[in-house]
Amino acid sequence: MKEIGLHGRGGQGVVMAGELLANIYFYEGYEVQFMPSYGAERRGAPSNAFVRVDNKKVLNRYSILVPDEIIVFNITLLSNLKLKDNGVALLNYPDGLSKKVSDAKIFCVDARSIANQLKLGTAAMPLVNTAMLGAYCRVSKDFSFDTLKRVYEDKMGSRASLNIRAAELAYESVREI
């Protein structure tokens, strides 16, 4: 079983990204469990979503405290997050980190610039969720980009094309540090 944590701030699309990711895995034939977790429903407040994925029925109902992989929409939250040994971290961070912070595989993508370039959200609070999932598609190798596109089209309708473009740009530009 794989446990994935998505972490960001209200207004960045964290909960929607968790739902989209659960749907992507479901479309690929996996059993999934999606759990949003957020406090005050306001812009800027910490927001989290968790997804469990397995080839067999997911029966666990407890909180995910230390996931196998994390997708971090806002780097200011990184110091509060835990990750299993040899886990994977995908960060929305343009410059990478100056040093490795653990034995995790760390990947970076500048989703903020991509969202701003495509005018997703506002300059102050860009919607980075669809770009982050594009980068995660390449990092995880668990699902095809075609499945990601299909889920975006099914869930977003006429807004899908711009979000698919954000995902493509992030897929192409994500890098391991």
**26-58 pLDDT, tens per residue?**
999 999 999 998 666 677 788 999 999 999 999
> Are the C-beta atoms of 177 and 108 separated by less than 8 Å?
yes
Region 95-113: mean pLDDT is 80
Residue 138 has pLDDT above 60, yes or no: yes
**110-137 pLDDT, tens per residue?**
999 999 999 999 998 899 999 999 999 9
Domains and CATH numbers, the chain: 2-176 (3.40.920.10)
**Statement: the pTM of the whole predicted model exceeds 0.75:** yes
Residue 98 has pLDDT above 60, yes or no: no
Residues 6+ apart with CB under 8 A from 55: 30, 31
